[in-house]
């Protein structure tokens, strides 16, 4: 039997934080988690759209426990404020789904001056995860799920000397690099958690080809070139719904049998039921993860201090 959201165990009393919960995969994820009884913190930049998404969830689950938190992953000050707001309300975070992202957009910078796709897709989530580590580690067997893409296969590891791709930015190349960073982050975080014997686990997931507003946004911005309309049309014709595309990240976040370091995605590469996928380890991956850690700490000024967070959580 294929895994579906009906397999999600009872999450009553648990807190889930979902980035980008105002639409697409994030909304589908928040909807399923709320339906299973979790208190869902919907962290999103567009609060008008987030309020509409909140109404959508309440239409399906009138008793859903939902909170809206403003979060602009392209602004580290906003990330700090969002993390503080979450910590103030929730001493424990049982599920963190790093879902939000941008795809193949024209060259742009974050509020802090970083290449936008890397800044939003990775650096913003690095900072949020680091700032929420204490409540994550205080929870009973929490899960951190970072959403990557099949595009991570075309990505190159971040170069500490070329973080912003100055003078040679290419929208799809930057997207692949950001999604590879998500892949490496999920695996690297699991190593750090294992190093201190934490109960929490880090997993990665990808949605395959899903028909969400991500493709439409890429076409509208014109950053994806001639291939963007093609992929948009392909997603509309053959892609999974956001509901189906969210299942890999939902399974990674909730399946009692899932373990840290695992990777979930559609069975048939970009389509099909949510299954565990092999983690393909490229030559030099350890060096790439080390470089990502160096860049991320230097860029954000926020160390991912698992040991320190574990000590604080234990007090």
DSSP 141: S
Distance CA 102, CA 221 (A): 11
Residue 8: CB partners within 8 Å, gap ≥ 6? 32, 33, 35, 36, 250, 254
CB 300 within 8 A of CB 124: no
What are the tokens at 260? 């840290």
- Catalogue the active-site residues: 175
Other Cβ atoms closer than 10 A to 286: 14
Query: What's the rounded Cα separation, in Å, for the pair 142 and 216?
Result: 34
- d(CA 181, CA 155) in angstroms, rounded, equals 8
d(CA 159, CA 163): 6
User: How distant is the alpha carbon of residue 75 from its chain centre?
Assistant: 16
What does each C-alpha distance from 136 to 16, 17, 150, 202 come to in angstroms?
Answer: 10, 10, 27, 11
Residue 43's φ and ψ, nearest 5 degrees, are: -100, 115
């Amino acid at each position: 039997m294929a895994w579906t959201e009906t397999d999600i165990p009872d999450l009553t009393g648990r807190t889930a934080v979902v980035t980008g919960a105002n639409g697409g995969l994030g909304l589908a994820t928040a909807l399923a988690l709320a339906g299973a009884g979790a208190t869902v913190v919907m962290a999103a930049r567009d609060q008008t759209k987030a309020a509409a998404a909140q109404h959508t969830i309440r239409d399906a689950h009138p008793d859903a426990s939902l909170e809206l938190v403003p979060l602009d992953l392209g602004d580290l000050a906003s990330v700090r404020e969002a993390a503080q707001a979450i910590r103030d309300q929730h001493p424990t975070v049982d599920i963190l789904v790093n879902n939000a992202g941008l795809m193949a957009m024209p060259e742009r910078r974050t509020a802090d001056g970083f290449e936008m796709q890397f800044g939003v897709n990775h650096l913003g989530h690095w900072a949020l995860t680091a700032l929420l580590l204490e409540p994550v580690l205080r929870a009973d067997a929490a899960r951190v799920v970072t959403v990557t893409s099949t595009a991570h296969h075309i990505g190159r590891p971040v170069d500490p000397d070329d973080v912003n791709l100055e003078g040679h930015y290419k929208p799809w190349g930057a997207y692949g690099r950001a999604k590879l960073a998500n892949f490496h982050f999920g695996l690297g975080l699991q190593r750090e958690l294992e190093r201190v014997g934490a109960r929490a686990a880090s997993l990665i997931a990808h949605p395959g080809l899903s028909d969400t507003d991500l493709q439409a946004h890429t076409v509208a911005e014109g950053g994806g070139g001639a291939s963007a309309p093609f992929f948009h049309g392909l997603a509309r014709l053959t892609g999974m719904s956001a509901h189906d595309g969210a299942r890999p990240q939902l399974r990674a976040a909730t399946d009692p049998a899932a373990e840290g370091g695992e990777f979930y995605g559609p069975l048939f590469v970009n389509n099909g039921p949510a299954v565990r996928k092999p983690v393909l380890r490229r030559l030099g991956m350890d060096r790439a993860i080390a470089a990502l850690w160096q860049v991320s700490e230097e860029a954000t000024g926020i160390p991912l201090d698992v040991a320190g967070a574990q000590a604080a959580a234990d007090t």
